[in-house]
Amino acid sequence: MIKLGIVMDPIANINIKKDSSFAMLLEAQRRGYELHYMEMGDLYLINGEARAHTRTLNVKQNYEEWFSFVGEQDLPLADLDVILMRKDPPFDTEFIYATYILERAEEKGTLIVNKPQSLRDCNEKLFTAWFSDLTPETLVTRNKAQLKAFWEKHSDIILKPLDGMGGASIFRVKEGDPNLGVIAETLTEHGTRYCMAQNYLPAIKDGDKRVLVVDGERYRTAWRVFRRGAKPVAIWLPVVAVNLVR
């Protein structure tokens, strides 16, 4: 039997209607895997050995009661065949420390998904710098004067933290907006933290594209459409015949 561990945010607080980690757990359980649940604080190192307090988990597609724990144990992470690192941002020092612990288990033969080094190297926002020809004009800085100059150049910009998710703390600053200064000070914590600025693209009002990639091939593509006063909806698009991602 495959022993699968998962490091995630508290499972009691997730929305199972849209949580992809929960979907993975359902499928793993269907395949007969033994599920071991962990939160980041359950991971620890002792004399160089990566260990964790885990709880054996059962899941079900029930909106009222979607999980139960059927046991708990303290074990070496190397005893698990696979560990899914599914902790949501912020991508902070605690997250980085957790990847080092997971890396010790990886060295012992446990498959960690995603690879700990890749999680550290590929910050979701900063990694776009390697694909600047595919992004809006982008500035990463903690300098208020540079942010102001970028705003004056484009007149309509988006400001966001580097370690957020789900649209949290994202600001649109239009021409003449008197709040640029306080927004910049808040996001950079008075010049001590980096943030990202991008010129606003009006086409975003029509929605954004989400591409699912499996083993290097485009599996499905969705156009996420925004609706006033309602949650976005996904319109699935047909997959083209040649879909290899290079």
Which pLDDT tens digit goes with each residue over 126-164?
A: 999 999 999 999 999 999 999 999 999 999 999 999 987
- pLDDT tens string 174-229: 999 999 999 999 999 999 999 999 999 998 888 888 888 888 888 888 888 877 76
What pLDDT score was predicted for residue 89? Answer: 84
CA distances from 155 to 132, 173, 181, 205 (A): 20, 8, 14, 18
- pLDDT tens string 28-41: 999 999 999 999 99
Beta bridge partners, 143, equal none
Residue of 23 and 231 predicted with greater confidence: 23
Residue ranges of domains in the chain, CATH in brackets: 3-121 (3.40.50.20), 126-200 (3.30.1490.20), 204-237 (no CATH)
**Closest by CA position to 165, among listed 233, 92, 232, 85:** 92
Q: Which helix (H) or strand (E) holds 212?
A: strand 208-214
36 touches 110 (CB < 8 A): no
- pLDDT tens string 35-77: 999 999 999 999 999 999 999 999 999 999 999 999 999 999 9
Say if residue 244's pLDDT is above 50: no
Give the tokens for residue 241: 């015949």
236 touches 222 (CB < 8 A): yes
99 touches 87 (CB < 8 A): no
Q: Which helix (H) or strand (E) holds 108?
A: none
159 touches 186 (CB < 8 A): no
Radius of gyration for the chain, computed over Cα atoms and rounded to the nearest angstrom = 21
What pLDDT score was predicted for residue 238? Answer: 63
What pLDDT score was predicted for residue 242? Answer: 40
What pLDDT score was predicted for residue 27? Answer: 98
